Amino acid sequence: MDIARNTTLAVWMAEHGYSSNSLADAVNRALEHLTGRAGGLDGSSIRAWKAGRVTWPKSATRRALEDVTGLPATALGFVPRRRPPSTPAAPQQEDPDMKRRTLVGGLAAAAAAAAAAPGTATRRIGMGDVDRLQQRFAEIVASDHRHGGQLGIEQQAAALAEEALNLQHAGSASQRVRSSLYASAAAFRSSAMWAAIDGRRYDVAKAHMREAQALAEMSGDQAIKFRIWSHAGTMYRHMGRPADAIAANDVARNLHLTRRDPLFASLGLARQGAIHGTAQNRAGTHRAFDQAQEAMLRADPADYRPMWMRAFYDQAELDSLALSAHLALGDHPTAEFHAHRCLSALRPHMVRSRAIATTRLAHAQLAQGAPDAATATAMKVPTDAATRHARVARMLQEFGAALRATAPGSSTVQTWNEHAALWRTPA
């Protein structure tokens, strides 16, 4: 039997600059972090993955790979093993994989065909179609972690939300499938909302928010409701409206999901702490982060949570939010402490988060009277983030202004000006 190469994994490795040996090293480190034991992968192990000789790595290895890449294994081209049926399969039963392959023409085309020929038989929409949407959602999340705030990500996510809704009309489906399709559409729309927030396009973000909230209600999915309202709290925090931010974040925190799962409770509390920092509520900030840390320590490390949650919320993200809060409070030594903890724990795929934390660290160092160290830190921000990410670009502009006010005419200012000039696009 022919073995199909895993070209998806090979393309991902080429895009992110991984050789077989370097990816093996990264996964081994992630395995040690997860299990306490060093992994035993080497370059030949990765080559076996790419060649298709290994189609579904062991569970701990898959989890480590997902931590390194920020993508589920299925989105990297791996195929779960099928259990043999305990009883003979019914004759003429349709293979779910074959059902998925019939949707070749795209969701919009399928919906149009269904509308154009109402008298003809319709296909059956199943959870396999929902799983395919979730793989595309994983790609959107991964792209956001690499680039963040880009208009293209927002537009792609919004278009995929429409595709998920079109699939509602492409055939018959159970209530469970229809609820899952609404949840998928809400998830895509919430990613469009987040990209707009990250790019400081707040009016557009609010329009995405309203659509996402309506879809989430139709889905009944608590996790996606949490994501949308938590994003809304972050949006209002960035807009300088802490009262609205607290109100929105409270909606997320009051969902019963946060009482069942301490990790969701931790994220809600950490974002509450960041809002308190913006509002100059020092006591509220310390209380929220203490509670967020305690909840995180109680959380089950199992991987049953939604992919978007697993891809970003961990100790590094908690420290990133604490960094933001203490920087807003003017507590620069504590901000620097959290910055170093965040940067040391960030997973490789969190490119956008690393740029933000690095920029905030530079601000904290400058505020403590260390312009040389601060400038060296700020110069580590990649050009792509410095020029294309709205939040990072603005913070770096503010850093340059503060540096010139702190050390006017110094060689450090000249060094920074020359470095920043390389980022400007020629007229």
The secondary structure of 127-159 as a DSSP string is HHHHHHHHHHHHHHHHHHHHT-S-HHHHHHHHH
The pLDDT of residue 122? 62
Q: How far is CA 371 from CA 368, 377, 402, 406, 407, in A?
A: 8, 10, 10, 8, 7
CB atoms within 10 A of CB 341: 18
Segments of the chain with pLDDT less than 70: 1-3, 15, 82-122, 141-150, 303, 424-427
- The answer to whether 264 and 225 are in contact (CB under 8 A) is no
The pLDDT of residue 423? 79
Verdict on whether the full-model pTM lies above 0.75: no
The pLDDT of residue 89? 40
Rounded CA gap, 421 and 427, in Å?
Answer: 12
CB atoms within 10 A of CB 301: 8
The pLDDT of residue 97? 38
